[in-house]
Structure 1
Amino acid sequence: MTKNVKWFFVVLVFSSLISLAFSNENVHAEKLQEGDKIPALVLCDTVQPLDLHSAREGYTLLSFWASYDAVSRQNNAALAHLAGETGQVEMLSVSFDRYASVFHATVEQDGLEDVRCFVETNGSDSEAFRAFDLKQGFTNYLVDSKGVIVAKNVTPAELASYLKK
């Protein structure tokens, strides 16, 4: 009897490992790297009219953040102010706050009125959160005029160096 239980346990563990190896999350985590095309942005369960494949010259900076995440919020505000100083970067800012009122207060407090800001009230349950693999933390993507990811997790200093090129 114990021999059968051991074999059952071995088969169960083995099948679990195989299923994890083929799960979408493992493939998905490596999905968005430099050189890849940026996917369509789905916010609040609808495709938003955000042109991430713009034909215009320059870059688009897609920044994900939330008011409850101090690092992402600070980075988003610094990038927005730097992008506002030049016409080379169009910034799209997406917050994952659950309440629009918190989002609007944060946008006002951080001085982001001139930036195209959007809120995804479905938070970590949203399609955008999964598509851009934000479970490891909020990030941003610098996208060229062809919709190709040029850089990921851009700091204000790195963005300034891209703009000097």
Structure 2
Amino acid sequence: MKYVKWIFVVLLISSLTSFVEKDKPTGGLNVGDIAPDFKIETMSTEQSTQNLSRMKGKYVLLSFWASYDAQSRMQNASLSNALRSTSPNNNVEMVSVSFDEYQSIFEETIRKDQIVTPTCFVETKGESSGIFKKYRLGRGFTNYLLDDNGVIIAKNISAAELSAYLN
């Protein structure tokens, strides 16, 4: 009986200490980090390449998502709509990157979600792609707002927060 009490105390203490790190970001990059450069190409008939480094001097909203991840997909669509509904000279360029492994699924998703396609790319290597690894997205998709020097100034920004930022 004496050992049962000690085991209970040890379990209680270990469960309490597991909550200590909960406020730390779960994964990916953080505010203040410089966003890693990447190059991504479209696979459609209109061959297009996007280099993050070419966008220096502009604010950039990077949105990482996949059609199979409902939360990231909804967030991507709402951010795209928020940017579209603000003034055209809002000085923020959105780069939307999907990690769907099939081009057809990606194309159907952006059609249904009404995403502007010139700034929307698909990385068909999915979670094994270099971008996925560079941005450490293993614990979930996210979005980043970068300043004109490529420094992350906001993470997991909502459409409402973006609209407030633009105004």
Report the TM-score when normalising by structure 2. 0.72
Change (3 A) 1:68 1:32: same
Show structure 2 runs of 5+ residues with no match: 1-25, 42-48
Compute the RMSD of aligned alpha carbons: 2.0
Instruction: For residue 113 of structure 1, report the CA deviation from its aligned partner.
Output: 2.9
State the Cα distance separating 1:63 from its structure 2 match: 0.1
How many aligned residue pairs are there?
Answer: 132
Any stretches of 5+ residues in structure 1 without a counterpart? 1-28
- 1:44-123 equivalences under 5 Å are 48-52=49-53, 54-57=55-58, 59-86=59-86, 87-88=89-90, 89-114=92-117, 116-123=119-126
| Residue number among 152, 157, 163 corresponding to 2:155 in the alignment | 152
> Taking structure 1 as reference, are residues 31 and 154 closer, same or farther at Cα in structure 2, changes over 3 Å only?
closer
Summarize the Cα distance change of 1:37–1:63 in structure 2 as closer, same or farther, 3 Å threshold. same
Alignment deviations for residues 25-62 of structure 1 (CA, whole Å, 9 cap, x no partner) = xxxx8772211211112447xxx5323463445x2100
Note closer, same or farther for the CA distance 1:51–1:127 as it changes in structure 2 (3 Å cut). closer
CA contact (8 A) 2:96 2:121 kept: yes
Is the 1:63–1:93 contact (alpha carbons within 8 Å) kept by the matching residues of 2? Answer: yes
Shift >4 Å, 4+ stretches: none
Find the counterpart in structure 2 of residue 16 from structure 1: none
Counterpart for residue 14 of structure 1: none
Q: 1:130 aligns to what?
A: 133
| 2:28 and 2:139 in contact (8 A); partners too | no
Q: TM-score, normalised by structure 1?
A: 0.72
